[in-house]
């Protein structure tokens, strides 16, 4: 029971990380119509910048700021230099150009930081754990990550539903032509949305940096899961990204935590272990295939 | 004579909006039945329901006596339904002749011959050539569709639709965007095709409608408000008010 | 037409001479390099049939490549161990059995994936094909019997009656023969009635449906044919490298196949082969000088995508046009 609860919290923490990444990705796709495979690279940038600064200065908070600044700035550069030229292109060109960006980002990171993972330590206030229910001490930092994720979700909700920019964003995700017709500075809106997405991806990277191994390629693994979240949630829908992110985070974590042991009860150990891990990794993709079969446009498709 | 196309009580709603509201109409063999109505009257939604791109909420569509209400588009074509598009819809990278050739091939319901040579199917190309020779496009066979003028595209669409030998042809605003001369050409082409198949003509151009139609139905806000011969429609006060009146203004 | 065939013949003769040239210059790695490029070319060409001619952006094509490879690997594993797959199907090392089996199994997998994926379009299609490829990837990783993450070693290349397949040059010529046959098959395919209809669907699916073509069925058949081609390429690759691993179906491999298609020229017959050759040569050459070869490759790819339309084939056409 306690184990289950702990895994639920782990799932929630993975879920909010996926949400931070998916929120930006779904807006970028919904509004600009660009498939950005390199979104995971911005997650990596955030993690590396934060870790490096944290190691140099000894300050987690300094790292946090550095991670956000770096991912935001690089996001701006990428939008101006590459993404902007992809708005009018077809999906194939977008996939390939952003695939090229992944290669470039990964190798540049290797050139700067090498292949060894970076490790950071947590600041004093996060090093302990909190006993949420009796018998379950849970790391404070992970709770902090969950809190940050939920706070961002709330902030995005207000930004999108209560502000003028949010109105444009919603309109853009539903009907791109309409926003163009409104005479808004569309390029400015695009750049702002992309930078916001980059910032959120960077934040996800910063948050993850003390608990995952910060190394080249870390973005490639999570970007696929993020795309699954976006597609299940419905392209363009932040609400969908939130629901799908949390559900997938929980689902994936539960599978990984409990499936191998369950299989071990019916078949020999090593095979069960391997099969359990394999099927767990397939889980989210299977879920996406099933969702798309029933709802070809995802759960909360913004576009009609 | 039983109608070749029989639409009864068709309803389609989008959210709160009722696009077609219990629409019924028939098209008899050999007849040109025109459907007119102001913009937003639901004409396109109706056409798309007849073609099978949209499934109605209620009502039935019978084609040549068979209930096709839930049949996918390809199945309806096999039963003899043809169409042209409001915004011309052709294969832009191919030539006029190739477009026509594909339409003729498609008459067999398509095929899965993966080893034949499309360029050597003489029966197809002979037919395409003879159709083109008797048309306004006789000199344009080798031109890529992307390079055609708008009126020529409209003509090609009609040729392709006719070459499939449909029982009923849905014409979605064939005059749209045509100049005066081109319109006259289109009216002539349609007149010449009369008798090859029945037609449901959706059109704004009143001159064309009155020149061609055996019967006219008037669709306003998703409902048929009047139906009859050209004279009857001209004389109908409700139509004058709801529709023709706007034209005069 | 005649000139095309002459060029093709000349290229084939040149390619056939590669083992001699390799021996003559002492660059024995050439044969292996060109052989691999030819096999990747086949895989890329199979993808190009649905991508370039059919307009279906499949991001999971490496799955069929890998499945074809694993069929060879698994059959060899059981042949070697004297056991049977699922206790029924005995193993074999006969190429005349393994290749058709690989094509068949890859085709079945493509039928399954295609039937489920082709109902969607746009980004959903891209992502669902990717998802299926990932499922296959993780499936094979989890099969401990077949080496899990490490894959299967195929200690001896499959046998072909009358040929000494242990000889590197012979194996290369077998690969070349398959590549040439596949090229001719694709040429016939895209010029067939079926190929014309597929091209029509790419340009205007709605129009084709309005002409009574059941577009979904056509797209599915094309998808299956394409998957079978990738399966054949994968089976050859495992014979050529004597190794099958989950890496063959990693999602970046699917990306690479797309890169080859784009680099060479989408929707052209020779493009994918040229693209595969170019990318493979570039990678191998750069890797000799720097471990960071991915950086220049990435930059080059970005420049190609952003600035040009039509890839190397368009460039060749332009040069030919200029020379006339």
The 10s digit of each residue's pLDDT in C6-46 is: 999 999 999 999 888 888 888 888 899 999 999 999 999 99
Distance (Å, whole) CA B220 – CA B246? 12
For chain A, the average pLDDT equals: 88
For chain B, the average pLDDT equals: 86
Give C-chain residues touching B85 at CB under 8 angstroms: 206-207, 210
CATH number at C2-323: 1.10.3470
Q: Tens digit of pLDDT for each residue in A253-288?
A: 999 888 888 888 887 777 788 888 888 889 999 999
- Phi and psi at residue B5, in whole multiples of 5°? -125, 125
Q: What is the pLDDT of residue C323?
A: 47
Q: What is the DSSP letter of C248?
A: G
Q: What is the pLDDT of residue C49?
A: 95
Distance (Å, whole) CA A33 – CA B20? 32
Q: What is the pLDDT of residue B61?
A: 94
- For an interface test with C, give the residue of B54, B73, B76 to mutate (most C CBs within 10 A): B73
Tell me the CA end-to-end span of chain B in Å, nearest whole number: 40
If you average pLDDT over each of B227-236, C146-155, C168-177, which comes out highest?
A: C168-177
How many beta-carbon pairs below 8 A join chains B and C?
A: 95
Q: Which helix (H) or strand (E) holds B11?
A: strand B5-14
> Which residue from B137, B135, B136, B141 is spatially nearest to B101, judged by alpha carbons?
B141
Which chains touch B (3+ CB pairs under 8 A)? C
Contact B110 C221 (CB under 8 A): no
Other Cβ atoms closer than 10 A to C2:
6
Domain-by-domain residue ranges, chain B? 5-92+165-248
Radius of gyration (C-alpha) of chain C in whole angstroms:
20
Q: What is the pLDDT of residue A184?
A: 67
- Phi and psi at residue B22, in whole multiples of 5°? 50, 55
Contact B89 C210 (CB under 8 A): yes
Least confident of A95-104, A225-234, C31-40, C313-322: C313-322
Average pLDDT over residues C90-119: 94
Contact A228 C116 (CB under 8 A): no
**Residue A121: pLDDT above 50?**
yes
Contact C211 B113 (CB under 8 A): no
Question: Pick the residue with more confidence: B15 or C200?
Answer: C200
Average pLDDT over residues C287-299: 85
Instruction: State the nearest Cα–Cα gap between C253 and chain B, in angstroms.
Output: 29
Q: Tens digit of pLDDT for each residue in C221-264?
A: 999 999 999 999 999 999 999 999 999 999 989 999 999 998 88
**Residue A210: pLDDT above 60?**
yes
CA B70 to chain centroid, in Å, comes to 20
Q: Which of residues 215-234 of B touch C (CB under 8 A)?
A: none
Give C-chain residues touching B94 at CB under 8 angstroms: 199-200, 203
C142 → closest Cβ in A108, A235, A279: A279
Nearest CA in chain C to A298: C124
Other Cβ atoms closer than 10 A to A32:
24
Distance (Å, whole) CA C254 – CA C251? 5
A286 → closest Cβ in C120, C135, C258: C135
CB proximity C141 to A under 8 Å: yes
Instruction: State the architecture of B5-92+165-248 in CATH terms.
Output: 3-Layer(aba) Sandwich (3.40)
> Which residue from B49, B6, B27, B71 is spatially nearest to B222, judged by alpha carbons?
B49
**Residue C1: pLDDT above 60?**
no
**Residue A304: pLDDT above 60?**
no
- Give the residue numbers in C contacting B (CB under 8 Å), as ranges: 188-189, 191-197, 199-200, 203-204, 206-215, 218, 221, 225
> Which residue from A198, A172, A193 is spatially nearest to A184, judged by alpha carbons?
A172
pLDDT band at B123 (very low <50, low <70, confident <90, very high): confident
Give B-chain residues touching C225 at CB under 8 angstroms: 114
Q: Which helix (H) or strand (E) holds C228?
A: helix C215-241
3-state secondary structure of A1: coil
Q: What is the pLDDT of residue A88?
A: 82
- For an interface test with B, give the residue of C197, C199, C211, C213 to mutate (most B CBs within 10 A): C211
Question: Pick the residue with more confidence: C3 or C271?
Answer: C271
Average pLDDT over residues B183-187: 90
How many residues in chain A?
Answer: 304
Q: What is the pLDDT of residue C269?
A: 92
Distance (Å, whole) CA A246 – CA A241? 8
Mark out the alpha helices in B24-149 (DSSP H runs).
43-51, 73-78, 96-106, 122-133
If you average pLDDT over each of A164-168, B122-126, C170-174, which comes out highest?
A: C170-174
Q: Which residue reads 């669902």 in tokens?
A: C128
Average pLDDT over residues B131-139: 85
Q: What is the pLDDT of residue A174?
A: 67
Contact B83 C210 (CB under 8 A): yes
**Residue C324: pLDDT above 50?**
no
**Residue A3: pLDDT above 50?**
yes
> Which residue from C98, C6, C22, C7 is spatially nearest to C313, judged by alpha carbons?
C7
C192 → closest Cβ in B101, B118, B164: B118
For chain C, the average pLDDT equals: 90
Q: What is the pLDDT of residue B249?
A: 37
Instruction: State the nearest Cα–Cα gap between C177 and chain B, in angstroms.
Output: 20
Tokens of C314: 């368009």
If you average pLDDT over each of A182-196, B75-89, C55-69, which comes out highest?
A: C55-69
Q: What is the pLDDT of residue A269?
A: 74
Contact C295 A111 (CB under 8 A): yes
Percentage of residues of chain B with pLDDT beyond 90: 26
Distance (Å, whole) CA C85 – CA A58? 57
Average pLDDT over residues C91-117: 95
Q: Is the ipTM of this complex over 0.90?
A: no
Distance (Å, whole) CA C198 – CA C55? 9
Q: What is the pLDDT of residue C233?
A: 98
B91 → closest Cβ in C191, C192, C203: C203
Q: What is the pLDDT of residue B248?
A: 45
Average pLDDT over residues B15-28: 86
Give B-chain residues touching C192 at CB under 8 angstroms: 113-118
pLDDT band at C297 (very low <50, low <70, confident <90, very high): confident
Other Cβ atoms closer than 10 A to A164:
8
Average pLDDT over residues A123-147: 84
Domain-by-domain residue ranges, chain A? 2-215
**Residue B245: pLDDT above 70?**
no
Q: How many helices (H) and strands (E) does chain A have?
A: 11, 2
Q: Supply the pTM of this predicted model.
A: 0.88
* Cα dihedral C221→C40→C136→A250 (10° resolution): -110
């Amino acid at each position: 029971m306690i184990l289950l609860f702990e895994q639920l919290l782990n799932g929630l923490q993975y879920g909010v990380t996926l949400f931070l990444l998916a929120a930006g990705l779904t807006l970028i796709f919904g509004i600009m119509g660009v498939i950005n495979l390199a979104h995971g690279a911005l997650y990596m940038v955030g993690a590396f910048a934060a870790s490096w600064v944290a190691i140099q200065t000894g300050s987690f908070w300094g790292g946090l700021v550095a991670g956000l600044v770096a991912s935001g700035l690089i996001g701006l550069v990428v939008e101006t230099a590459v993404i902007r030229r992809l708005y009018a292109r077809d999906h194939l060109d977008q996939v390939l150009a952003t695939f090229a960006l992944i290669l470039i980002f990964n190798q540049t990171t290797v050139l700067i930081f090498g292949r060894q993972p970076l490790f950071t330590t947590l600041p004093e206030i996060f090093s302990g754990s909190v006993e949420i229910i009796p018998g379950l001490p849970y790391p404070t930092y992970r709770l902090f990550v969950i809190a940050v994720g939920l706070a961002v979700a709330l902030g995005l909700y207000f930004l999108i539903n209560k502000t003028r920019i949010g109105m444009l964003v919603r309109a853009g995700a539903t009907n791109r032509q309409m926003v163009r017709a409104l005479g808004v500075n569309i390029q400015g809106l695009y750049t702002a949305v992309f930078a916001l997405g980059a910032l959120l991806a960077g934040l996800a990277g910063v948050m993850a940096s003390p608990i995952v191994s910060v190394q080249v390629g870390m973005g490639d693994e999570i970007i696929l899961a993020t795309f699954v979240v976006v597609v299940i949630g419905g392209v363009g829908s932040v609400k969908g990204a939130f629901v799908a992110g949390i559900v997938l985070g929980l689902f994936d974590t539960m599978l990984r935590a409990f499936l191998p042991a369950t299989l071990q009860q019916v078949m020999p150990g090593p095979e069960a272990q391997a099969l359990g891990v394999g099927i767990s990794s397939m889980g989210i993709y299977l879920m996406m295939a099933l969702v798309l079969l029933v709802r070809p446009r995802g759960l909360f498709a913004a576009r009609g | 004579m039983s109608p070749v196309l029989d639409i009864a009580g068709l309803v389609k709603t989008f959210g709160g909006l009722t696009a077609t509201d219990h629409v019924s109409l028939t098209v008899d063999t050999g007849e040109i039945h025109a459907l007119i109505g102001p913009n937003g009257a639901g004409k396109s939604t109706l056409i798309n329901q007849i073609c099978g791109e949209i499934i109605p909420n209620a009502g039935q569509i019978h084609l040549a006596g068979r209930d096709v209400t839930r049949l996918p588009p390809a199945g309806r074509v096999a039963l003899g339904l043809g169409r042209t598009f409001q915004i011309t819809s052709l294969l832009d990278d191919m030539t006029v002749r190739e477009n026509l050739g594909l339409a003729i091939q498609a008459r067999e319901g398509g095929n899965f011959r993966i080893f034949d040579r499309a360029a050597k199917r003489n029966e197809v190309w002979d037919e395409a050539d003879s159709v083109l020779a008797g048309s306004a496009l006789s000199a344009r066979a080798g031109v890529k569709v992307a390079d055609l003028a708008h009126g020529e595209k409209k003509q090609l669409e009609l040729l392709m639709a006719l070459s499939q030998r449909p029982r009923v042809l849905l014409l979605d605003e064939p005059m749209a965007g045509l100049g005066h001369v081109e319109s006259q050409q289109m009216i002539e082409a349609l007149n010449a095709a009369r008798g090859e198949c029945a037609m449901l003509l959706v059109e704004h151009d009143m001159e064309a409608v009155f020149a061609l139609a055996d019967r006219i139905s008037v669709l306003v806000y998703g409902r048929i408000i009047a139906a009859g011969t050209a004279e009857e429609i001209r004389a109908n006060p409700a139509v004058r008010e709801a529709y023709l009146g706007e034209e005069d203004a | 037409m005649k000139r095309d065939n002459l060029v093709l013949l000349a290229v084939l003769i040149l390619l056939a001479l590669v083992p001699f040239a390799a021996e003559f210059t002492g660059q024995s790695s050439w044969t292996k390099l060109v052989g691999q490029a030819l096999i990747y070319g086949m895989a890329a060409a199979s993808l190009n049939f649905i991508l370039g001619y059919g307009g279906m952006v499949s991001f999971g094509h490496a799955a069929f490549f890998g499945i074809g490879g694993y069929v060879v690997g698994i059959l060899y594993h059981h042949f070697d161990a004297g056991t049977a797959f699922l206790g029924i199907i005995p193993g074999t090392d006969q190429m005349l059995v393994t290749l058709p089996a690989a094509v068949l199994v890859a085709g079945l997998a493509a039928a399954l994936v295609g039937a489920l994926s082709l109902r969607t379009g746009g980004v959903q299609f891209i992502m669902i094909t990717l998802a299926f490829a990932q499922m296959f990837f993780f499936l094979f990783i989890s099969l401990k019997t077949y080496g899990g993450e490490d894959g299967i070693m195929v200690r001896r290349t499959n046998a072909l009656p009358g040929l000494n397949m242990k000889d590197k040059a012979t194996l290369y010529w077998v690969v070349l023969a398959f590549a040439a046959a596949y090229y001719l098959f694709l040429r016939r395919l895209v010029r067939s009635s079926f190929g014309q209809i597929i091209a029509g669907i790419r340009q205007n699916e709605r129009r084709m449906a309005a002409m009574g073509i059941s577009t979904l069925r056509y797209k599915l058949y094309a998808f299956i044919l394409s998957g079978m081609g990738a399966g054949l390429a994968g089976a050859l690759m495992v014979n050529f490298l004597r190794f099958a691993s989950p890496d063959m179906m990693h999602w970046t491999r699917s990306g690479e196949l797309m890169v080859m298609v784009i680099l060479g020229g989408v929707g052209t017959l020779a493009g994918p082969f040229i693209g595969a050759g170019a990318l493979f040569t570039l990678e191998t050459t750069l890797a000799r000088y720097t471990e960071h070869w991915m950086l220049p490759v990435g930059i080059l790819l970005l420049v190609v995508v952003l600035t040009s339309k039509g890839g190397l084939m368009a460039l060749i056409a332009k040069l030919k046009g200029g020379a006339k």
